[in-house]
Chains A and B, each alone.
Chain A
Amino acid sequence: MAKKPSISTKTKSAPVVLTPRDKKTLSNITQLADGVVKAAAARRDPYVDIPSRTLANVHYSARKRILEMGNGKNRRQLFDLSQAKAYMRTMLVGSGCKKLIDQGKSTSLRGLFYMLKHTIEGSKENTFDEQGECDTIIEDVEVLLDSIREELHLYAENRGAMVGAITFTDKGDEINCARMGSGGYAIPSICEPDVIEFDPKKCKAKFILHVEKGTVWQRFNEDRFWEKHNCILTHGSGQPPRGVRRMLYRLHNELKLPLYCVLDNDPWGYYIYSVIKQGSINLAFESQRMAIPEAKYLGLRSIDYDRCELSDSVKIALNDTDRKRAKQVAKYPWFEKKAPWQREIKKMLDNDFKLEVESLISKDISYVTEVYVPERLEAQDWLD
């Protein structure tokens, strides 16, 4: 408590320089607030129209081969019992972001959650009880202001890692991804050009291999796969966060590196591939900056159980949600018209079991790095 005033005096003493992007974001936030004042003065019910982040408002652009957000909007009114709280939270997030921009600082999603969390005067109710509640509102504000998280001075926890034959600068520091030891370079949640700068001359890698989980990534890193095959090796701790997706997008587009994915053979793995390739429903507004339609699906395939002669013990039976999910995935427009994908999904349903990448270890510890992936790459055997 005692420290608080000293911090505020500090910020006062050092005036913050706003970037043009900051100025644009600030004016957007101010417009939002002005709308409330105007409505109140006119005795009208204040509202905001938030572009809808639902499946119904997302369409697949066959031309661009990415998911795009439609024009559908959800009206959020202050004087509606079911929306009043969400409306209040939207304004809170707006004011929190303004504070961050004014002070030239950024914070984590959790940090903003704590910044805005307090007990509402005259009640025992909290503005936010869980971080999840705050995170969805932040996403709302992103689409509402047409500003991405980075522009709101927010970042998520770092997740995902990379190693490989590439050197770039991160906030001025040179990062040599070939010298990252066993841990790898932690992919930051903000991978914008003003933070991370690539130099095509310093990239020797020929492709990117993205794996699903850190454990599999460890295997590849320990076997120095990227060295042998001259590539970049990444993982996204399951569903890749925005930072990882943005990093992959930029590597793919700016350095012209093809992307291959090694994911589990289950509906979840298919979905991760789908998000990397086409974008997610929830973040459809960011597809343009993140989706990589050229990404290839290397494995694991439903045919791998037979093809690699795996033992019975590695099978994991599908459950009802898996089956349901698989059928949903099969219906996605970008999978629907691709016969190989339909065969792939049908085969998994016929198998009635799923396979994790780690199951290949039952053959040999380094089977996946020394046999499986090189063979697939050699044979150009992948799904698109």
Chain B
Amino acid sequence: MEDDEVETKATTNGAPKRRSSAKEMAAKQKEISVSEFFAKNRHLLGFDNPRKALLTTVKEAVDNSLDACEEAGILPEIWVHIEQTAESKYKVGIQDNGPGIVKKQIPLIFGKLLYGSKFHRLRQSRGQQGIGISAAGMYGVQTTGKPVKIISRISAKQPAHYYEIQIDTKKNEPRILNGGGDGVDIPPGDKGAAAIQKHGIEWIDQPHGTRVTIELEAKFVRGRGSVGEYLQQTAIANPHVTLHYLDPEQYQYDYERSTDKLPPEPKEIKPHPYGVELGRLAAMLEESDSQSISEFLKTKFSRVTGPISQKLCKDASISARANIHKLSRADAEKLYAAIQKTKIAPPATDCICPIGEELILKGLHQVVPGEFYAAATRPPAVYRGNPFVIEVGLAYGGTAPTQNITKELLTELLEETDARTVRQFLINTFNGLGPEAADKIVKTSGLGTRSSPSKLKPKERDKLFEAMKGVNVAEGQSMEVMRYANRVPLQFQQGACAVTQTILGTNWRSYGLSQSRGSLPKGPVSVMVHMASVWVPFTSESKEAIASYPEIQKEIRLGLQAVGRKLGMFLNKRLRAKQQTDRREIFLRYLKEVSTAVSDINGAERAALYDQLVKVAKKVTADADVKLDDRGRKIKTDELDLGENVLIVDPVTHAAAINRVERVEEES
């Protein structure tokens, strides 16, 4: 009807001629495979640019490995190896000591988008959708033409399987290239070693585990948003993991696990009625087997008891015994409205596995140089029917990365950077280095503001190196924020994240840090915020930022305040101690002058007089320590009572304060 009308109108009114008819158009309309869609929209998955593609690939593989190991109850050990193969091509190999994958699943897991075990379960895990690793493989195939190589072994006695796979974007199906479309079996023992050699497979010999190798167009960087940063942050939030990372410049980083305890296995839970939207409810009603409505509510949801299901049915004016397949759309809507109105107990929270305050401290201490650490794990809370736990860790002090660096590493960093100015180079390369501190370094070094980092002459490099060592960057340095969702570091879209927003909204001045309005606090502080939940609400598919639900923000704020208060006490105490030392120093400074003057006048022995005066100074300042306060009461000796879950270390002897690359080499 409509078509006809339009046609007549068009001809009579002299409107543009129709270009195509509905029938012709119908011929062009066809199903789009998920793989095809993502091939064209790869930015949605974190493959926007070569730099990010490299990170996303490593990230997806490592996340999958960790999930697999933990699910199988194995202490994870992971090897990440990045190697440059051509100008902008890199080969990424990630191996774990996980349970391995059975033969027939390998092609599906790595060669089919949206294939996995996690999506349908409501359980705390790192990955959620099962897009990641296969998308990385698809990206690799698209940009380099090289297949994804997987080798997996499930036990020492059984053969390992070796596959070379390409994803068929049209059909969303894996295409196996080697072994005549069936992969290659590698026997256990020495024979296997020979076979591995023959096929040119990279494999660190393990009784079980999986290694995936993807070659892709990428760009290797250091600093913010880099693979190194991701692995470092992963090591912090996963103190039970050992990570080995060999970067393209042959720098080896090893993060040893600081605990042998696996996090408890997260339980799978049924959805809570509050967390289910109308569409999902309708879908569940349709998908479920034929049963009564009250039975459906009781079995498919958590926290719905008999009386509550009765009440829900009554409120929705549906018979409790009605079959769910007989319910109309209107009934579903009524049921949904009834759920919102009814008070239902919050979901069980034992399905959440937080890292724990003790392990957060261990993880931070192992990786972040500092002198004061505090951690807080909040009690579980609920947003939209999903239970979650917020954890906050804080590290304060220590030497800045700019002061840790060796000259050789600086030279290499300068050569490889793509930053156009030295200032930009400094900000990009060193975590937590604010623009102000960078400006200060550049100014001290006396280099031109526009000099290009890669074109610095040796003398200029020396100057820059000296300046980096000499400038106290802690002044202009702003807080480093590490965000985690289910132990996975979030590295992008910092501004959009509930964590960042809450940190900005917290008044850090009352905890002894300086902070200008609407910006991160200043100082050598690192804060990690971890959200553990069965379902972390991300703002977008690339899983970079946590959505700002008021319940979540409240928990984050309380966690930040808990560690902030402890930091405040620590800083306050330190400030007082410093004032005391300053007092003594002032006296000591003048004593030499006084004794010189006195000996000039009456010929007294200068050195002896000075020594005597120093003794008096010590006595006097010791007395001052127990001075009375304004009201004449003795001021309490400042025993620092920070409660539990605080770690104070001497920054000078802190292992992580020493240049990390060197330290690792010593250990390995």
Contact = CB atoms under 8 A, between A and B. Distances in A.
B616 A36 contact: no
Contacts of B621: 79
B598 A92 contact: no
Interface in A195-221: none
Interface string A29-50: 1101110110111011110000
Interface in B566-621: 583, 586-587, 589-594, 596-598, 600-602, 604, 609, 612-613, 615-617, 619-621
Which 5 residue pairs across A and B have the least CB separation, nearest first?
Answer: A33-B601, A91-B597, A40-B612, A33-B602, A95-B597
Report which residue of B594, B615, B620 has the largest number of chain A beta carbons within 10 angstroms of its beta carbon. B594
A271 to B, nearest CB: 36
Contacts of B600: 95, 98-99
Given A40-B616, A43-B615, A84-B587, A127 B602 contact: no
Contacts of B596: 95
Q: Mostly helix, strand, loop or mixed at chain A's interface? A: helix
A125 B582 CA distance: 14
B614 to A, nearest CB: 9
Given A88-B590, A95-B601, A121-B592, 8 more contacts: A36-B594, A36-B598, A41-B612, A78-B590, A78-B591, A85-B590, A91-B598, A120-B589
Interface residues of A, number: 33
Given A41-B612, A45-B620, A78 B593 contact: no
8 contacts: A33-B598, A40-B616, A79-B587, A79-B616, A88-B590, A88-B594, A91-B597, A120-B589
Interface of B: 583, 586-587, 589-594, 596-598, 600-602, 604, 609, 612-613, 615-617, 619-621
A123 interface: yes
Contacts of A81: 583, 586
Nearest to B583: A81
Interface in A85-143: 85, 87-88, 91-92, 94-95, 98-99, 120-123, 125, 127
Contacts of B604: 33, 37
Contact of A45 (B586, B589, B598, B616): B616
Contacts of B583: 81
A209 to B, nearest CB: 45
Q: DSSP class of B's interface residues: helix, strand, loop or mixed?
A: helix
A122 B586 CA distance: 11
Given A33-B604, A36-B609, A78 B586 contact: no
Contacts of B619: 43
Contacts of B591: 78
A218 B589 CA distance: 52
A79 B604 CA distance: 20
Contacts of B587: 78-79, 84
Contact of A40 (B590, B597, B601, B613): B613
Interface of A: 29-30, 32-34, 36-37, 39-41, 43-46, 78-79, 81, 84-85, 87-88, 91-92, 94-95, 98-99, 120-123, 125, 127
A122 B617 CA distance: 17
Contacts of A41: 612
Contact of A122 (B589, B594, B597, B620): B589
Nearest to A39: B616
B601 A79 contact: no
A84 B601 CA distance: 19
A30 B601 contact: yes
B594 A91 contact: yes
A55 B620 CA distance: 32
In this complex, which of B590, B592, B620 has the most chain A Cβ atoms within 10 angstroms of its Cβ?
B590
A312 B492 CA distance: 77
A78 B589 contact: no
B593 A88 contact: yes
B627 to A, nearest CB: 12
Nearest to A40: B612
Contact of A94 (B597, B613, B617): B597
A94 B594 contact: no
B602 A34 contact: yes
A43 B616 contact: yes
Nearest to B612: A40
B589 A40 contact: no
Given A36-B594, A84-B590, A79 B620 contact: yes
Nearest to B600: A95
Nearest to A86: B590
A53 B593 CA distance: 26
B597 A84 contact: no
A120 B602 contact: no
A39 B619 CA distance: 13
B589 A37 contact: no
A122 B593 CA distance: 11
Contacts of A39: 616
A46 B601 CA distance: 16
A275 to B, nearest CB: 33
A29 B597 CA distance: 11
A44 B598 CA distance: 16
Contacts of B590: 78, 84-85, 87-88, 120
B319 to A, nearest CB: 85
Contacts of A127: 593
A41 to B, nearest CB: 6
Contacts of A84: 586-587, 590
A120 B593 CA distance: 7
A274 B626 CA distance: 49
A44 B612 CA distance: 10
B594 A87 contact: yes
Contacts of B589: 120-123, 125
B460 to A, nearest CB: 29
Contacts of A120: 589-590, 592-593
A29 B604 CA distance: 13
Nearest to A88: B590
Contact of A29 (B592, B601, B612, B617): B601
A95 B602 CA distance: 9
A30 B593 CA distance: 17
A42 to B, nearest CB: 9
B617 A79 contact: yes
Contacts of A98: 600-601
**Most chain-A Cβ atoms within 10 A of its Cβ — which of B589, B617, B621?**
B589
Nearest to B616: A43
Contact of B593 (A37, A45, A91): A91
Nearest to A34: B602
A46 B592 CA distance: 14
A40 B609 contact: yes
A125 B593 CA distance: 12
A29 B600 CA distance: 11
A121 B602 CA distance: 22
Nearest to B613: A40
A80 to B, nearest CB: 9
A37 B598 contact: yes
A37 B617 contact: no
Contact of B594 (A43, A78, A99): A78
B634 to A, nearest CB: 20
Contacts of A91: 593-594, 597-598, 601
A74 B604 CA distance: 26
A78 B610 CA distance: 13
A41 B586 CA distance: 21
B555 to A, nearest CB: 46
B597 to A, nearest CB: 4
A346 to B, nearest CB: 45
Nearest to B604: A37
B597 A92 contact: yes
Contacts of B620: 45, 79
Contacts of A45: 616, 620
B435 to A, nearest CB: 28
Contacts of A44: 616
B588 to A, nearest CB: 8
Nearest to A122: B589
Contacts of B598: 33, 36-37, 91, 95
